[in-house]
Structure 1
Amino acid sequence: MNGLDERLMMLFHHVPQCECVADIGTDHGYLPIALVSKRKCNKAIACDISAPSLKKAETHSRLQGIPLDCRISNGLSALEQEEADCIVIAGMGGILISEILTQGKEKINDATLVLQPMTAVKELREYLCNYGFSILKEDMVFQEEKLYHVLVAKKGEENQEYDCEIGSGLKNHPLYGKYLMKRKDKELEILKQMGSFRGEKYQKHKKLLEKLEQEEAT
């Protein structure tokens, strides 16, 4: 669908039917083009800090005959307050996504956030749960054996009981078993690389491995 791979398709499915979507870090613009062409939204704002990337989005928009509102934007800076009903931030690390949300918090209002952190998923969960957001759902997909996450969130009641290490929203997911196995393998590799070192960092990873094993056994 309009050049969408599995990772982008997962984002597509979690964007609600709405008037206006803003895609932050749009790059080629594949996602907003698909959202407009399939009538999931009436308008899409394609934002990127990179002028060359935005040029690619403009070119694809023209070739597909799908109008995009393309804007150079550092995070949410180019958005007006309450302009977007849904804000997609994907293809960057969880720490950077957290910073973008902090800097643009007044632009978010009641918008649905569809977030895809490439790293620091735990840290993004912790940020959302502690800074005025509610995680509504999580999803994941394996593409070429690489794991991709999606977190859907809105401003709302903080949930400090949320399992940010593993992800409470993933526990009924059909890929949960494979996810736990991949996480376990990663922790085992980290412990192996530490060798005879038994400091605080070792104990932290050992404790996480034990938690993953317990979760797998339930």
Structure 2
Amino acid sequence: MDHTFKLPPRLAAIAALVPDGACLADVGTDHALLPIRLLLDGKIQSAVATDIRPGPLSRAKENSYAAGVHDLSCVLCDGLTGVSPDSVDTVVIAGMGGENIAAILRAAPWACRNALCILQPMSRPEELRAALPSLGLTIRAERLVRDAGRLYSVLAVRAGTPEALSAGELYCGKYSLVSNDTLFSDILAEQDKRLDIAVRGLERSGRDSDRERLNALRLAAADIAEMRRKYHGDGS
């Protein structure tokens, strides 16, 4: 194995969900490390790497030349706007906020209909999960991964009958899919702390305009508390 393009844990977790023989689109590719590694390993047939910024895309091209891969196209575009729907069957959107990932999918309905989408939000995972039903997507798999001290969720979604998630699952992941993950206790604690900080902040503000948001956060916090009790065997 060529270790020059070794994947960090976050990208390795994404790569593990990519099907063998896939034709991949990697959105926001940055240095194209993921598609290059998958091509070098012979796991995928081809890849399209997109980025909205010329600088990272130039580095992606340089890396592909250095790696000697020939089935990688680098496209300067916003999201999937420069990708031909017929050229890919698997889409990776990683390294950006959950709301941005949802917006990219909303602008590419063909991907929601036909592709396996592997999504890795850097922030606001609850906004991404909340958007999935309106996009006609259902979660097929979820993984948790720790990288450089941060905890990330990786979701594999595909067109299907949307399933309702509880308020706490929007933040922590679908219980039936992630409760066996060794990091599940960590994500519960992390999101519980995040919600506690947010609730306290809104309570201090005392603005009537924040009331709906405050109630939603309290509901999510209560649901996560119940998930923690269930996980530790107290609520079964």
Structure with greater helix percent: 2
Code of the residue aligned with 1:146 in structure 2: it is R
- Taking the aligned partners of 1:159 and 1:152, their CA distance within structure 2 comes to 14
Amino acid at match of 1:145: G
1:47 is aligned to 50
Displacement, 1:52?
1.3
User: Which residue does the alignment assign to 2:197?
Assistant: 189
Percent of pairs with identical residues? 28
Structure 2 residue runs of 5 or longer lacking an equivalent are 231-236
Q: Secondary structure at the match of 2:56?
A: helix
Range 32-41 or range 201-210, more displaced: 201-210
Q: Quick check: 1:22 aligned with 2:37?
A: no
Equivalent residues of 1:82, 1:108 under 8 A apart: no
Q: Is the partner of 2:35 in helix, strand or coil?
A: helix
Q: Deviations over 1:113-136 (max 9, x none)?
A: 011111221111121123211110
Aligned length: 218
Q: Residue 150 in 1 paired to residue 147 in 2?
A: no
Describe the superposition over 1:119-168 as per-residue Cα deviations: whole angstroms up to 9, x where unpaired.
22111112112321111011111223211111101112222356424321
What residue number does 2:186 align with? 178
| Equivalent residue runs for 1:1-218 within 5 Å | 1=3, 2-67=5-70, 68-107=72-111, 109-161=113-165, 163-168=169-174, 169-194=177-202, 196-197=204-205, 200=211, 201-218=213-230
- Residue 207 of structure 1 aligns with an amino acid whose one-letter code is L
Residue-by-residue CA offset, 1:44-96 (whole Å, 9 max, x unaligned):
11111111111000001111112221111211111112310111011111111
Q: CA RMSD in A?
A: 2.0
The secondary structure found in structure 2 opposite 1:52 is: helix
Rate the CA distance shift 1:159–1:204 in 2: closer, same or farther, 3 A.
closer
Change (3 A) 1:173 1:19: closer
The residue matched to 1:14 in structure 2 has which SS? coil
Q: Deviations over 1:26-50 (max 9, x none)?
A: 0101000001011110211111111
Against the structure 1 CA distance between its residues 141 and 195, is the aligned structure 2 distance closer, same or farther, given a 3 Å change threshold? same
Unmatched 5+ residue regions in structure 1? none
